[in-house]
Copies of this chain bind each other. A is one copy, B any other.
């Protein structure tokens, strides 16, 4: 069978963003995922966020690995170029693509298997390079596409459909990202669209590697009683530690933000992220404390969500490299090359 394109019916009724696009213009092909799959909600949030940020669709580069989660880039922004890397290797594709052209928006979508098993090394090193991109882990604790084996994010004690109980410690994307120097560390839940859309917007505007670990239940293989990645379990234990507001340059910041436990952080493009602590004992700008806080709550079985750590000043890949502005796509042929080659060779004569 061949991939289905949605009929491009135009709902004139819909509101348009600054570019005159409606949300429809940010959609993609029809999803082939299971009805109720968390991943589809994340796709919806991405569409919403890009529309709200007035992003020119074809200025986005969509990237993913292999897995149900990694199929989703085909389901949003059909006017943007997209690429499915091989399994677990999207971070290297993203790094190379971003190296070649820093002018686009980079969105990487991955799964827990894709990023934490086969792709763990690349994931870690993309973080170290602070590649300027939004990196989503659609985390369901299993390998969906290969029918439900435990992934590296499965929690100790979580029970598989077959009954087997996982005993290996999980790889916690947020803890790991933190320990690797990630500059934007967030966690969310596919069922909390409001929080998710805000985090995605903030992540897209952050200059650097913005990692969002999104708990995204797999209805086919990991949404049962005893699973710690089910809708029920996540709803019960997820615990927003930080409330995040994202304010675009155009809007001005409403007063009440000045005071209290809330801290506004200005981003490179002039937009602002306002963090309001829900838990006072967590400071999203102090890595050492963040570690302790996150680990404590992890041990308590709580799923802490929100923008958990933010470092806005760190240099990204291109800042490190001191790259000239613009893209490196069009090799500029120069006219003095023959002379230069001559010059170079003197030392070999």
The chain A residues found within 8 Å of chain B, CB to CB, are 117-121, 124-125, 128-130, 152, 167-172, 175-176, 178-181, 287-289, 291-292, 295-296, 299, 315, 320
Contact = CB atoms under 8 A, between A and B. Distances in A.
B179 A128 contact: no
B288 A289 contact: no
Contacts of A289: 292
Contacts of A176: 176, 179-180
Given A120-B124, A291-B291, A291-B292, A171 B167 contact: no
B295 A167 contact: no
Given A176-B176, A179-B176, A128 B291 contact: no
Nearest to A317: B168
Contacts of A299: 287-288
A320 B169 CA distance: 12
Given A172-B179, A291-B291, A152 B128 contact: yes
A123 to B, nearest CB: 9
B152 A169 contact: no
A320 B164 CA distance: 12
Contacts of A167: 315, 320
Nearest to A122: B121
A180 B178 CA distance: 12
Contacts of A181: 168-170
19 contacts: A118-B121, A120-B125, A121-B121, A125-B152, A129-B168, A167-B315, A167-B320, A168-B181, A168-B320, A169-B181, A171-B180, A172-B179, A175-B179, A178-B179, A179-B179, A287-B295, A288-B291, A288-B292, A288-B299
